[in-house]
Amino acid sequence: MFLGLSLSCVSNVLLARATTVGSVGSPDRSGSLGLKEHYARSVASDCVPLSITLDSSHATDFYRSFVPVSPAGSYQLASDGLQLFLDRPQGKIVTKQNVNDKVAEGATLNSTFTLLYGTVTFTFSGPATPGVVTAAILIADQHDEIDIELVGGDPKHWQTNVFAPSPRDEQPLYGVFGEIDDYPHGQKSVEATHSYTIDWNEDRIQWSADGAVVRTLRKDDTKKNGALHYPSHFARLQLGIWDASSPAGTSEWARGPINWDDAPRRMSATFDSIEVKCPY
Ligand SMILES: *[C@@H]1O[C@H](CO)[C@@H](O)[C@H](O)[C@H]1NC(C)=O
């Protein structure tokens, strides 16, 4: 449920892949590559193993692998992690029928690379404030998503979800493949740092927390409206913190809206490290 951020502007898979990989190099260098070279590079770089510590001493590695989608001040690569901020919107905020009239724009970062199948481990924490969602997802230009979401209003659990829209769906299947999961090894909180893993192959997706498998979703179990809804397109990593205070359904799911009389003016999620392991 990563509303409003999954806007796709590229419809052609090859072009999307080439474009993505083109941004890996320095701007002047990628600018001098022809489309054919872009494509050759993209094939060579489909799932590149990565192990990155997210802090200010690894800034070069960070900017090679990630590109901000939100404005510069919305995140900070600090000495103790990558901080993603969610700042109170300006002016008066009116709450009516469990929805806020203003929604904060949180930080979002994309990976510069894409992968089709692989194992991705994100180590992070998020605020336990109702209405705030911290997300680590894989997302494709075709709108496939594999999600890990920390819902601040339900801090003792974490959530997993999958989207792979079919033309036969009359509306997005928000609730259908989502699950609210327990932490392994006793009760924990979204506010503490945990490692969360998405292990994605052709047949199934497994989500783990702190090294223990918590959920397995098989491809065969994603049938709905006569079609499978299994992510099977090249996807990039996307990290984000967002305000789920509107619309009503989203706010209800996130136990929002954010009560800005109570919540800090600036909230943050912290990502410590990311690891990508490739199946090939
Ligand atoms: C970030 O990812 C989203 C989802 O795939 C995409 O629509 C958007 O264009 C990407 N933005 C950048 C700057 O890479």
Domain holding 167: CATH number? Answer: 2.60.120.200
Residue 183 Cα to ligand 1 middle (Å): 30
Range of the domain at 254: 47-277
| Domain assignment of residue 31, yes or no | no
Helices 35-44 and 13-22 pack at an angle, to 10 degrees, of: 80
Residue 274: both structure tokens together: 């990311």
| Domain assignment of residue 203, yes or no | yes
Ligand 1 within 6 A of 8 CB? yes
Ligand 1 within 6 A of 67 CB? yes
| Domain assignment of residue 25, yes or no | no
Percent with pLDDT over 70 in the chain = 84
Residue 3: both structure tokens together: 């509303």
> How many folded domains does the chain comprise?
1
| pLDDT-derived band at 168, boundaries 50, 70, 90 | confident
| Domain assignment of residue 24, yes or no | no
- C-alpha distances (whole Å) from 79 to each of 60, 76, 82, 203 are 14, 9, 8, 39
E runs forming strands in the chain: 50-53, 66-68, 75-78, 81-87, 95-96, 99-100, 108-115, 118-125, 132-140, 145-151, 157-163, 179-182, 194-200, 204-209, 212-218, 223-224, 227-228, 235-243, 266-277
| Protein residue with least CA distance to atom 14, ligand 1 | 110
| Protein residue with least CA distance to atom 1, ligand 1 | 110
| Domain assignment of residue 194, yes or no | yes
Residue 20 CA: nearest ligand 1 atom is 14
Active site residue 145: yes
The pLDDT score that the predictor gives to residue 186 is 86
| Domain assignment of residue 117, yes or no | yes
Map residue 179 onto helix, strand or coil: strand
Per-residue pLDDT, averaged over 188-198, amounts to 97
More confident residue, 34 or 215: 215
Q: Lowest-pLDDT range, 150-159, 167-176, 185-194, 246-255?
A: 167-176
The pLDDT score that the predictor gives to residue 6 is 36
Residue 127 Cα to ligand 1 middle (Å): 24
pLDDT at 227 over 70: yes
Instruction: Quote the CA–CA distance of 257 and 135 in Å, as a whole number.
Output: 17
Per-residue pLDDT, averaged over 263-269, amounts to 98
Catalytic, out of 37, 105, 149, 202 = 149
The pLDDT score that the predictor gives to residue 167 is 82
| Domain assignment of residue 3, yes or no | no
Residue 236 Cα to ligand 1 middle (Å): 8
Residue 41 Cα to ligand 1 middle (Å): 19
Ligand 1 within 6 A of 141 CB? yes
Sequence-ordered list of residues with C-beta below 8 angstroms from that of 246, at least 6 positions apart, any chain: 99, 100, 101, 103, 257
pLDDT at 201 over 50: yes
The radius of gyration of the chain's CA atoms, rounded to the nearest angstrom, is: 18
| Domain assignment of residue 16, yes or no | no
CB 153 within 8 A of CB 119: no
Q: Per-residue pLDDT tens for 60-101?
A: 999 999 999 999 999 999 999 999 999 999 999 999 999 999
Which of 30, 64, 69, 74 for a ligand 1 pocket mutation test, highest count of atoms within 8 Å of Cβ?
Answer: 69
- Determine phi and psi for 248, rounding to 5 degrees: -55, -45
Q: Which 8-state DSSP code applies to residue 183?
A: P
| Protein residue with least CA distance to atom 9, ligand 1 | 8
| Protein residue with least CA distance to atom 10, ligand 1 | 110
The pLDDT score that the predictor gives to residue 16 is 31
Peptide bond into 167 cis (omega under 30): no
pLDDT at 46 over 90: no
